Each structure stands twice: as C-alpha cells, then as structure tokens.
C-alpha cells in the first residue's frame, strides 16, 4: 500500500475510533470523567446514548452517507449529498444535531440544497463529516477542495466561521495525507486560520475544557490536543478527556492524527473494538474515494 493511501485509511479509521471513544464521555466534564474512569482510554460504549462497545454516532455515519453519495456520482454534488443525508435521517440515527435536523427538514420541504447564511449555524456539524469530500479531491487545486467542502457543508450549515474551520481542517488532512508534518500544518494552516478569524486562536487560550459544539470551541480543543502531543493515541486520549462534545472533538482529532501518523499509529485494541461493519466501510470507502482522484 502506498503511503498516501495508508494515511487516508488511517484518517477514516481515526475519525470512527475518535467518535466511538469520545461518545462515552460526551457532555461530561473533565472532573466527572476523571471521577468515573480516571483516564478514559478504552472503547467501552455507554454514555448518554447508551452505545454498544465500539459503536459510532452521527459524526461517522454522516461521513459514510456523504462518501456513498460521492462515490455514486464520481464527485461531490449537492443534490445527491442532500438526498443521502435525508435518507440517513429517515433511518433514525442514534443522534442528530439541531442544525443538521433543521437543514434537512428544509431540504425535504423546499428541495433547496443550500441553507441561507445564518449566524446560528456555526456548529461543528459540517466539519465532522468533511473527510470524504477531502479524499475525493486529494490531488485537486485548493479551490476545488474548498468548494467541495462548502457544497456539502451548506446543505445544513451556511456560516463563515463553519466554512473557515471546516476548510482549514480539510486542507490539513489533505496536506498530511500528502506527507506534510505537524510543524507545517501548524504554520501553514492553523496559525493563518487564527490570524484571519481570532475565534480560532488556540495558543492564548488556557486548556479548552468542555468544548461545546461551536466550531471555534471544537477546533481550539482539537488544535491544542494535536499540537501538544506526538502520537495518535495520546492526542485522542487528551481531547476526549476534556469532555463536552467529545465524540466530535474525538472524530476530528482522530481524522487529523490518522492522516498525520498513519495506520501503524492506531492501537490494535482500538481497531479490534471498533464496530467491524463500520471498520470495513471506512477502509473500503477511503480506498474507493482516493481512487477517484
Ligand atoms: Mg455524534
Ligand atoms: Mg457530538
């Protein structure tokens, strides 16, 4: 397997594992997590959704729905993506964000695949599912990647901060799959994002605990965990033990760390505990999406 494919598959598995790991402690505070688990570092299920061990949530299943739509048409198109998300919602997912629900109900009513710009749509729901759009545009110019991100994002989230955060994360994943190291991601992507939108400043902020579903809270927690650690396992354990929207910070951090560190960095115990059908879907989809470009 070539190095880029290895890292693309690792990004998808990292997303799913981060989601499954974080979901156990979603909406808990760091203090509650510490009281219950000391350090939460095992795929054990449970949490407020009462999940099975290794089960994932909307973060992973929306990404897989988007990936299927991209593969069916060979590229990122708004209408098939919106239809795939709508079918996903009809299948009664274990959880769903408010902005996602609002957008998909509007799509059902009007057939519109782009929400109006909205200041209340700065949640992390477009960022958490962006990976298949990145994998489908790996070798394309930056503007094509950004457009693919926005096309899928605006179905439910049309907001400048959501766009900026989502596109930055997407380009970081793309750079890392292409061989960029952490220092390059920091200087060429994370710092410029924070200079452009100060909401994403992550160095002056003390450790972001209880990150909310607000895109800036999510990205700050993920950046701190990613740039202050040197391997996938430590990064994921760091970010999910901050609690809050832990399945989504876990999913996004897992996607980035997987792209950076590759398959060999994913602990066997996590891979083996991940829902086998989800593991297979992530592996197959990553490979098929990369082959598109
Ligand atoms: Mg979730
Ligand atoms: Mg969440």
**What is 3-291's CATH number?**
1.10.4080.10
Q: What is the pTM of this model?
A: 0.98
**Ligand having the closest approach to the CA of 123:** 2
Q: Can you give the pLDDT at residue 204?
A: 87
Q: Can you give the pLDDT at residue 280?
A: 98
93 Cα–ligand 2 center, Å: 13
**Ligand having the closest approach to the CA of 245:** 2
CA proximity to 250, closest of 238, 262, 268? 238
SS3 of residue 214 by DSSP: strand
**Ligand having the closest approach to the CA of 19:** 1
95 Cα–ligand 1 center, Å: 6
87 Cα–ligand 2 center, Å: 20
Residues 6+ apart with CB under 8 A from 7: 176, 177, 258, 259, 260, 262, 263
Which residues on adjacent β-strands are paired with residue 214? Answer: 123
Q: Can you give the pLDDT at residue 1?
A: 83
**Ligand having the closest approach to the CA of 248:** 2
Instruction: Give the residue ranges of the chain where pLDDT is below 70.
Output: none
23 Cα–ligand 2 center, Å: 7
**Ligand having the closest approach to the CA of 243:** 2
């Amino acid at each position: 397997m070539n190095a880029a494919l290895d890292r693309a598959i690792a990004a998808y598995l990292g997303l799913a594992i981060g989601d499954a790991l974080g979901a156990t402690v979603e909406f808990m505070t760091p203090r509650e997590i510490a009281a219950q688990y000391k350090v939460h570092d095992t795929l054990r299920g449970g949490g407020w959704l009462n999940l099975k061990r290794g089960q994932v949530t909307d973060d992973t299943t929306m990404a897989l729905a988007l990936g299927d739509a991209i593969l069916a048409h060979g590229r990122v198109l708004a209408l098939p993506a919106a239809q795939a998300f709508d079918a996903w919602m009809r299948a009664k997912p274990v959880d769903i964000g408010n902005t996602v629900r609002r957008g998909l109900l509007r799509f059902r009513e009007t057939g519109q695949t782009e929400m109006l710009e909205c200041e209340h749509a700065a949640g992390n729901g477009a960022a958490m599912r962006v990976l298949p759009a990145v994998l489908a545009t790996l070798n394309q110019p930056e503007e094509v990647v950004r457009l693919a991100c926005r096309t899928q994002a605006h179905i439910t989230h049309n907001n400048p901060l959501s766009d900026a955060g989502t596109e930055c994360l997407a380009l970081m994943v793309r750079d890392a799959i292409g061989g960029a190291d952490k220092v390059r991601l920091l200087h060429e992507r994370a710092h410029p994002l924070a200079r452009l939108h100060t909401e994403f400043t992550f160095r002056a902020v003390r450790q972001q605990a209880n990150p909310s579903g607000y895109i800036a809270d999510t990205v700050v927690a993920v950046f701190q965990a990613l740039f202050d650690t040197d391997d996938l396992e430590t990064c994921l354990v760091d970010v999910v033990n901050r609690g809050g929207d832990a399945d989504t910070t876990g999913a996004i951090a897992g996607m980035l760390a997987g792209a950076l560190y590759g398959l060999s960095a994913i602990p066997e115990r996590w891979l083996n505990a991940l829902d086998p059908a989800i593991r297979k879907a992530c592996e197959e989809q990553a490979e098929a999406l990369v082959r598109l470009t």
